[in-house]
Structure 1
Amino acid sequence: MPAADPTPVLLRGADRAAFAVAFTARLRRAGLPAGITETDDLVRALAASPPVSRTALYWTARVALVRRHADLAVFDRVFAAVFDDGPPLPLSRSAVPPSRRDDTVNVAVPGSGDEAVSGGDGLPWATLPPVVAADETPADGGPLVPDLRPSELAALSGQPFEDLDAVQTAALGEALRDTLTRWPHRRGRRYAAHPAGRRVALRPTIARARRTGWEAVGVVRERPVPRPRRVVMLCDVSESMRAQAAGCLQLMRAFATVADAEVFAFATRLTRLTVPLRHTSPAEAVEQAGAAVGDRFGGTRIAAGIGALLDSHHGQSVRGGVVIVASDGWDSDPPERMSAVMARLRRRAYRIIWLNPRAGAPGWTPAVGGMAAALPFCDRLLPAATFADLTRAVLHLQEVAGRR
C-alpha cells in the first residue's frame, strides 16, 4: 500500500461544500457580498489546492471570495472569528500578498506559522499599500510592500527607437498590430439590400410585389457596400533614418498584414516589401525584408522613390487610398522635383500623411528643402520618434481615413 502523505492538511475529512456554504453565509451576515458564484469558486479552489496550513486556507478563501479592496477588513475579521484557536491574522491594511516576481524579496506574514513565504506562491494581484509617511514606517519587521509597476510595454513605448533591443521592438510591433482592430471603409460601387438605404431596389421590390397582386406594398431599399480603403506606405531607410527604420518596419508589417496595404522602402531606389512582410513569423518577415533592401543606410532620393511608385503598375493602388510617407525629409533631389512629384501624388491619393521622427521636438520647423516642398501637399504631419507616436498615428489614420 502506498505510504500516507505526511503533510498535514487542514479540514481533512470535512465536507468542502458544507464548509464553503457556512463560511460564505457568515460573511454575508457580516456585510461581504458573497453569493452562489463565490461559494462555487471557493469549493473549486479547495479541491484544486487543499490547504496545508491556516495561511494557505486564508489566501485560498480570500482569492475566491473577495472582489473589492474595501471588503478585506470584513473578511479578515470573520476569518479570525471562525479560526479563533490560532493567532489573530493581520488586518487588511497590513496583510500584503507576496509578489509573483522571482527577483523580489520574501514577504513575512505575521501570525501565519511560517517564517516567510517565497515570491512564487502569492496572489495574482498586489494589495494597495496604505499611505504612510516617511517617519511612520514600521520598524517591527512587518511585511514588505512591493511597489506597483506599470506595464512593461507601456513603459517601453515612450522610449526612442535607438534605446530598444530586437526583442522589445518585436514585442511592441505585435502590440502595434493589435491596435489595428478595425480599418475605415469607403463607398463601393456594388449595392446590397439594407433597411437604412436611400435607393429603392427595383428587382427585389418587384419580386415581392408578385405576392400582393403586383402592388408594391413593401419597398426594398439598398445602399452601397462598403469596401476597405487602400493604404500605401513608403518608408525611408537611408542613413539619417537608421534609428527609426526598425520601428517603421514594424508599422509597415502591421499595415501589410492587417490592413492589406502595399508597403515600400526607399533610399536611392524603391523596393516593394509587401510580400516579405506578410510572412506569418515576425522574425522571418523582418529578415526577408532586410535582405530585400540592398540600398539601406545610404543616400536618400525621396522624390525619385515616389516618382518610381507613380510610374509603376503599383501606382494604381494609390488612387483613392491613404498614402503614408515615413521620412525625415532629407532629400538629395532638388525641391522642385519634390514639388512636382507630390503634386502628382496629391491628385491621386485620398489622404497624404507624413510621419517625421523630428516633428515632435520642441521648436522644430520644416526647414529642410525636401520637407518644406512636400508639406503643402500633405494633409497631416505627425511625429514618429517612438512606438507611442506610431500608435497615435494609427488611431488618427483610422479616424481621418473614414471621413467622407
Structure 2
Amino acid sequence: MTGDPLALLVRFAEALRTAGLTVSVDRVVAAAEALGHWGIAADAQPYWPLRVALCRDRSDVPVFDMVYRDWFGTPPDDFGRTGSALVPAQSHRTDGRPGADAPSPQRADVPAPQRADVPSPRAAGGGAGNASRLASRDFDDLTEDELREVATWVDLLRPMPTRRTMHRRSARTGPTDPARTMRLMLRTGGELVRLRHRRPAVRTRRLLLLVDVSASMSPYSDMLLRFAAAALAASPRTTEIFAVGTDHTRLTRSMRGLRPRDALPAAGRVQTGWSGGTTLGDALNGFLRRWGGTDVVRSAIVVFGSDGLEHAEMAPLIRQVQRLAALAKVLIWASPDCHTDGERSKDRLIAQAQQSATRVVGCHDYLALRNLAKVVTNA
C-alpha cells in the first residue's frame, strides 16, 4: 500500500460521491473494518470488501466499477484476480493523491479484455468524472454509444414496492411469538429453553407502468421501457406495462420472462403507434374503461411516464388523470421536463393535470431514473 490506507479510502469515497453515489460515514467505517479482515496478501484486491461496504444496492455497482477501475485497475469480478491491494493503478492524477507519478498499467497495443454484454467504460472516457457526467446528462444529449452504456445501468435498477400484511413470520429477533414459544416449552417439559420471535410478513405491491411512446417522448420512452422491463424482471407476477399514445397497448406478455435488454426489442415488435401522435386523454380513457375495474389499476402503484403534451384538448387528459389517481394507491408522474422532485410543467394545463399525481419526478437522465426507482420502492 502506498501512503496512509485510511486517507486513501476517504478519498476513494469522495470520488464515489462525485460520481453520484451516496456514501455515508458509517459505510466508510464499515469498509475500513472489512479491509482490516481482508488480509495482506500481495495479490489481494480490495474490490469485494469495498463494494459490499460502499454499495447500497445493485444500481450502485456500474458507477462503483467505473470509479474502481480509475483508482485500482480492473475489478476481479470481471476478469479474475489482478492488481494489488489498495494501490492505485492510474497515472493521470494531478491532485496529490497516491499514484500521481506511477505509469499506467494499460498498454496501448493490448486492448483491455471486455465482457460481451457490457460496453467498456473506457470507450466513453472511463473514470469517475465520466460516470458522473453520463449519469447526469439528459438522454436526448447522449450519443448512441453513451446511450448503450447508460442502458446497462438502467437494466440493473430493480424497483419493487412492498407492503406489510397482518400475517406474521418467524424471525431470529423482534417481538416474542407467544404461541410458538409455548409449543416449544411443551416439547421440553415446561422448560423455557428459547424464546421464539416473529415479524410482519411482507408482500409485493402491484406496480403499473404507463409509458408514453409518442413522438415528443422518443428520447425518453426507450429508457422508461427499460426501467419497466427491469421492474418486470424483479417482480413478474405483480408488474404490468402498457404503452400509451393514441391508444393503449399491453406489453407485459411480450416482455415477461426476458432480460431487460431483450425485453425492449420484444416490445418493439408490438404494434403500439411508436413515435406517433398524442391523444393521451382518449388513450387513458380507453385504458380505464378496459382495466380500471381490475387489480391492474386498483390499489396499485402507478407510474405514468409522459411529458403531458397533447394534440387534442387538455380537459380530457386532466379528467382521466384524476380518475387514474382516484383508483391507484399512489400515482407517480415521471416527466422529462421536471428536473427536481415536485417540479411541475411550465405549461399551465399540464401542471393542472399533474396536480392529481401523488408525486411528480423526473425521468430525463440516469440519476432521475434511480430516484424514480427509490420513490417506487418506498411508495
The aligned runs of 1:207-226 (5 Å cut-off) are 207-208=183-184, 210-211=186-187, 222-226=198-202
Q: Which residue matches 2:216?
A: 240
Q: Name the residue aligned to 1:265.
A: 243
Specify the alignment match of 1:309 in structure 2.
287
RMSD: 3.9
Match in the other structure for 2:338: 359
Cα shift readout 1:282-335 (whole Å, capped 9, x = no counterpart): 554222212213312222222333333333347412333221111111124544
**SS in structure 2 of the partner of residue 280 of structure 1:** coil
Distance in 2 of aligned mates of 1:219 and 1:186: 27
Q: Retained in 1: the 8 A contact 2:337–2:345?
A: no
The answer on 1:97 being equivalent to 2:103 is: yes
1:169-208 pair list within 5 angstroms: 169-180=147-158, 183-194=160-171, 202=179, 204=180, 207-208=183-184
Amino acid at match of 1:237: V
The number of equivalent residue pairs is 280
Distance in 2 of aligned mates of 1:166 and 1:40? 37
Cα deviation, 1:200-225, whole Å, max 9, x if unaligned, reads 564x4563454477899987554431
Q: What are the superposed Cα offsets for residues 357-380 of structure 1, whole Å, 9 maximum, x if unpaired?
A: 11229xx85354652332222122
What displacement does 1:353 show? 1.1
Query: Relative to 1, partners in 2 of residues 1:167 and 1:367: Cα closer, same or farther, differing over 3 Å?
Result: closer
Q: Distance in 2 between matches of 1:376 and 1:236?
A: 18
Question: Given that residues 232 and 263 in structure 1 are in contact (C-alpha distance below 8 angstroms), is that contact kept between their aligned partners in structure 2?
Answer: yes
1:323 aligns with 2:323: no
SS in structure 1 opposite 2:337? coil
Return the letter of the residue paired with 2:42: E
TM-score (norm 2): 0.60
Q: Note if contact 1:330-1:370 (Cα within 8 Å) is conserved in structure 2.
A: no
Give the match for residue 341 of structure 1.
Answer: 320
Shift of 1:268: 0.8
Q: Is the 8 A contact 1:321 1:350 kept in 2?
A: yes
Match of 2:71 in 1: none
Who wins on radius of gyration, i.e. which is larger? 1
Aligned to 2:203: 227
Larger RCO (CA within 8 A; separation ≥ 6): 2
Instruction: Report the TM-score when normalising by structure 1.
Output: 0.57
**C-alpha separation in 2, matches of 1:93 and 1:40:** 18
Which whole-Å CA distance do the structure 2 matches of 1:292 and 1:196 have between them?
49
**Alpha-carbon distance change, 264 to 93 in structure 1, aligned in 2, over 3 angstroms:** closer
Which of 271, 277, 285 is equivalent to 1:293? 271
- Partners of 2:325 and 2:110 in 1: how far apart? 59
**1:51-62 to 2 correspondences below 5 Å:** none
Residue 373 of structure 1 aligns with an amino acid whose one-letter code is: Q
Q: Which runs of 5+ in 1 are unaligned?
A: 1-34, 42-62, 70-91, 103-118, 123-146
What is the distance in 1 between the residues matched to 2:196 and 2:177? 6
Q: Please, which of 352, 364, 368 is the counterpart of residue 385 of structure 1?
A: 364
* Unmatched 5+ stretches in structure 2: 1-38, 46-81, 89-97, 113-124
CA, structure 1 residues 259+101, in 2 after alignment: closer, same or farther (shift >3 Å)? farther
User: 1:321, 1:231 → 2: CA distance?
Assistant: 6
Aligned identity (percent) is 23
- 1:159 maps to 137
> Following the alignment from structure 2 to structure 1, what is the Cα–Cα distance between the partners of residues 126 and 216?
39
CA distance in 1 between counterparts of 2:305 and 2:280 reads 10
